[in-house]
Structure 1
Amino acid sequence: MTTRVLISFFCDDRPGVVEQLSGLISEHDGNWLDSQLSRLGGRFAGVLQAQIPNSQHAALSEALSELESVGITTSLTDAGDPVSDILSTQRVTLLGPDRPGIVRELTRALRSAGFNVRSLETAVETAPMSGEPLFRAEARIELDNNSRLDELEWKLDAMAEAMTLEIDLIAD
Structure 2
Amino acid sequence: MKSVIFTLLGKDKPGIMEAISRTVRKQDGNWLASNFAHMGGHFTGFVEVQLPEDNIQPLLNQLDAMPELNIRLVQGDTQGASQTHKAALEIMGNDKPGIVQELTSVLHKFNINILKFSSSCEPAPNWGGQLFKASVQIEFPDKFDLDPLRQALEQIANDMVVDVEWQG
Mapped to 1, the partners of 2:79 and 2:16 lie a distance apart of: 28
Shift of 1:170: 2.0
In the TM superposition, residue 102 of structure 1 has moved relative to its aligned partner by 1.2
CA distance in 1 between counterparts of 2:138 and 2:116 reads 7
Q: TM-score, length-normalised on structure 1? A: 0.92
- State the identity %: 28
Hey, what does 1:24 align to over in structure 2?
Answer: 23
Aligned residue for 2:100?
Answer: 103
TM-score by length of 2: 0.94
Structure 1 vs Structure 2 CA RMSD: 1.4
Matched, 1:35 2:20: no
Q: Please report how far the alpha carbon of residue 83 of structure 1 lies from its aligned counterpart in structure 2 after TM superposition.
A: 5.2
Verify the 8 A CA contact 1:113 1:148 in the aligned structure 2: no
Q: Is the 8 A contact 1:92 1:139 kept in 2?
A: yes
What is the aligned length? 168
Corresponding residue for residue 87 of structure 2: 90
CA distance in 2 between counterparts of 1:81 and 1:120 reads 23
Unaligned runs of 5+ in 2: none
CA contact (8 A) 1:115 1:147 kept: no
Whether the aligned pair in 2 keeps the contact of 1:98 and 1:124 (CA below 8 Å) is yes
Q: Is there any run of 5+ residues in structure 1 with no aligned partner, and where?
A: none
Aligned-partner SS, 2:105: helix
The question of whether the paired residues in 2 share the 8 Å contact of 1:86 and 1:142 is answered with no
5 Å-filtered alignment, 1:5-154, equals 5-67=4-66, 70-82=67-79, 84-145=81-142, 147-154=144-151
